[in-house]
A = this chain, B = another copy of it.
């Protein structure tokens, strides 16, 4: 199925490299190591380095790079912090990596309007460090210290999307440079508008295939007066999911509600020297007034008890919260510790919350039947869960077995009216599922938009849409 013009790998674009070197000096890099570090590094997807990396300082630098690449018919791959998981920053057809990490100014913070204007290289931790003094924060937490530009581009979310929404909901306006070098602004600072097509939402999640984001206006939130955190063991994944559904239905505005399956808890016990019961557990966080979080925690405890939960321990004291949540914080390294030396894949799917227990249980059964190691962590309030899949990539046939398992995982989620990715994005890794998920007509609509805005296929080619 060919939806976008296929590119073929070309010889190094020497004329362009020399023009960029001349123009950008020490912000231009063509060394192979540097280029490899700017391609995919976080999973078994092959590393496909760009021909060079250039680091713009301003929007006008980006315009100039786009014009130069366009004039030489060379692909452009935007790069934030390099924490994406599906090969988003690979350069399968060569080209220029546009590393946005030097564009990291916080341009304005508007406390009264609860918004800020930033450059795309700002990372979420840096942003929050700079907001704290004003009693403000940006809640979205995808785990990694991703750049906000990257989070825009993958439509990221994370642990507290259940309360605060995803990047879709938290971007007010964008500035972006399109394939033809034109600069578009997608909105002002009003919190809502009905004035024309929602171009911001089109660019959010487009993974740099429609344009390069150069400025972001984000919605902020006041730091809550009180934060309560807690953990609660359940007799089964199903009981934990049912308690989650009941909690959300009852209107408790839970800020985080995370499921760890028994294997994940076991891994965390080993890694962090904890002695949690090796059962499925929910990790929760509540935001509000002192009275409000106490009420929320109490109601959750009552609901959990109805589903056979063990004791719900919670606290508003920061050091105690950290202790209770230690296992959740350590998930990544704890998982790797289960099988040192193995390769790791982090993948995600998302289903309607009513199907979450079915999907997790069937997946656990598949893991057992396939003989894989794959603990599960879920943003269960959204119906979104992750597998940390470990395997010996040197062993013959193992990669194929893993790949078939991943196909079955996605097929299972789609059969339950879910999606092949709740928050990681398509990149290269999930392109093959796009037709099954969306159908030919919907993919054709995406391709028509891509074709209209980037007719030569220069913006991050080989991502999002099927191309061969």
A interface bracket (residues with beta carbon within 8 Å of B)? 35 or more
Query: How long is the Cα–Cα vector from A290 to B185 in the complex, in angstroms?
Result: 44
Closest Cβ neighbor of A161 among chain B residues: B192
A113 contacts B by Cβ under 8 Å: yes
Do B192 and A423 have beta carbons less than 8 Å apart? yes
A444 contacts B by Cβ under 8 Å: yes
Query: How long is the Cα–Cα vector from A195 to B433 in the complex, in angstroms?
Result: 9
Do B383 and A191 have beta carbons less than 8 Å apart? yes
Closest Cβ neighbor of A249 among chain B residues: B222
A5 contacts B by Cβ under 8 Å: no
A221-233: CB near B (< 8 Å → 1, else 0) gives 1101100000000
A353 contacts B by Cβ under 8 Å: yes
Do A113 and B352 have beta carbons less than 8 Å apart? yes
Query: How long is the Cα–Cα vector from A182 to B421 in the complex, in angstroms?
Result: 25
Do A168 and B201 have beta carbons less than 8 Å apart? yes
Partner of A205, one of B155, B198, B210: B198
A424 contacts B by Cβ under 8 Å: yes
A312-328: CB near B (< 8 Å → 1, else 0) gives 00000000000000000
Question: With A197-B202, A384-B192 given, is the CB distance from A110 to B354 under 8 Å?
Answer: yes
Query: How long is the Cα–Cα vector from A292 to B294 in the complex, in angstroms?
Result: 11
Query: How long is the Cα–Cα vector from A111 to B161 in the complex, in angstroms?
Result: 20
Query: How long is the Cα–Cα vector from A127 to B196 in the complex, in angstroms?
Result: 27
Query: How long is the Cα–Cα vector from A300 to B433 in the complex, in angstroms?
Result: 50
> Which residues of chain B are near A198, meaning CB under 8 Å?
155, 168, 201-202, 204-205
Query: How long is the Cα–Cα vector from A377 to B210 in the complex, in angstroms?
Result: 39
Question: With A169-B165, A441-B184 given, is the CB distance from A197 to B291 under 8 Å?
Answer: no
A154 contacts B by Cβ under 8 Å: yes
> Which residues of chain B are near A114, meaning CB under 8 Å?
248-249
Do A196 and B438 have beta carbons less than 8 Å apart? yes
Do A449 and B446 have beta carbons less than 8 Å apart? no
Do B190 and A352 have beta carbons less than 8 Å apart? yes
Do B452 and A354 have beta carbons less than 8 Å apart? no
> Which residues of chain B are near A214, meaning CB under 8 Å?
none
A139 contacts B by Cβ under 8 Å: no
A156 contacts B by Cβ under 8 Å: yes
Considering only residues 405-421 of chain A, those with a C-beta below 8 Å from chain B are 413-414, 417-421
> Which residues of chain B are near A199, meaning CB under 8 Å?
442, 445-446
Question: With A192-B157, A192-B423 given, is the CB distance from A439 to B382 under 8 Å?
Answer: no
Partner of A352, one of B189, B289, B443: B189
A183 contacts B by Cβ under 8 Å: yes
Query: How long is the Cα–Cα vector from A225 to B249 in the complex, in angstroms?
Result: 11
A288 contacts B by Cβ under 8 Å: yes
A276 contacts B by Cβ under 8 Å: no
For residue A246, give the distance in angstroms from its CB to the closest CB of chain B. Answer: 9
Considering only residues 173-191 of chain A, those with a C-beta below 8 Å from chain B are 178, 182-191
Do A441 and B182 have beta carbons less than 8 Å apart? yes
Do A110 and B161 have beta carbons less than 8 Å apart? no
Do B448 and A195 have beta carbons less than 8 Å apart? no
Question: With A198-B201, A448-B452 given, is the CB distance from A417 to B189 under 8 Å?
Answer: yes
A277-293: CB near B (< 8 Å → 1, else 0) gives 00000000000110110
For residue A179, give the distance in angstroms from its CB to the closest CB of chain B. Answer: 11
Closest Cβ neighbor of A135 among chain B residues: B249
> Which residues of chain B are near A453, meaning CB under 8 Å?
445, 448-449
Closest Cβ neighbor of A434 among chain B residues: B196
Question: With A169-B169, A292-B295 given, is the CB distance from A419 to B195 under 8 Å?
Answer: yes
> Which residues of chain B are near A384, meaning CB under 8 Å?
190-192
Across the A-B interface, give the 4 residue pairs with the lowest CB-CB distance, nearest first: A201-B201, A452-B452, A193-B419, A112-B354
Please give the residue numbers on chain A whose beta carbons come within 8 Å of chain B beta carbons, in ascending order.
Answer: 110-115, 154-157, 161, 165-166, 168-169, 178, 182-199, 201-202, 204-206, 210, 221-222, 224-225, 245, 248-251, 253, 288-289, 291-292, 295, 299, 350-354, 382-384, 413-414, 417-426, 430, 433-434, 437-439, 441-446, 448-453, 464-465
Ordered by A's residue number, 10 sampled pairs between the chains whose C-beta atoms are within 8 Å are A110-B352, A114-B248, A182-B441, A191-B383, A192-B419, A195-B421, A196-B434, A221-B251, A222-B249, A452-B452
